[in-house]
Amino acid sequence: MITAAAQHLRVLPSEFTVEQLPAGQLPPDASWYVLHRAPEGLTVVREIPPAPAAEPDAPGAPQRWAGLYGETSHGLDLPGMLAAVLGPLAAAGVPVFVSSSYLSDLVLVPRERRAEACSVLREAGHTVTG
């Protein structure tokens, strides 16, 4: 069995929202961070300014997500890199939304669970900064 190495993750300073647009529709502006086209439409991850942690989200406002980015770039042929991060979060019941790039992964966790997610990942042997 191959075990992925501990990773260095950075908490991004921005917060994010995730939305889905119907097939064929593009985002109205350049505020997107990630675009992912699938048969059912376009998933858009938008970067938004952080809100004070004590400030509750307005009713009907999109959920805010905190971003953790893998600082350890890895090849596409290295198994288990994402699983090494997601496994501990799943065991702790922390929801995630993930977008992978050629070199690394962006793992989004609900803003209100950011501190818990960082703690869980550190306990699993990962380094988390930011």
How many separate domains does the chain show?
A: 1
Over residues 61-96, the pLDDT tens digits come to: 789 999 999 887 766 777 778 889 999 999 999 999
pLDDT at 46: 93
**Cα 92 from chain centre:** 16
pLDDT at 78: 73
Tokens linked to 79? 């198994």
What CATH number is associated with residue 83?
A: 3.30.2130.10
What is the rounded distance in angstroms from the CA atom of residue 81 to the CA atom of residue 19?
26
Cβ-based neighbour number of residue 126 at 10 Å: 20
Three-state DSSP class for residue 30: coil
Beta-strand relationship, 127-129 and 8-21 = parallel
pLDDT at 1: 40
Structural domain boundaries, residue 100: 8-51+63-129
Contact call for residues 9 and 68 (beta carbons, < 8 A): yes
pLDDT at 61: 75
pLDDT at 95: 97
pLDDT at 2: 46
- In a domain, residue 57? The reply is no
pTM, to two decimals: 0.85
- In a domain, residue 58? The reply is no
- Listed as ranges, residues in the chain with pLDDT below 70 are 1-4, 53-60, 74-75
Tokens linked to 70? 């893998």
Residue type, 24: G
- In a domain, residue 2? The reply is no
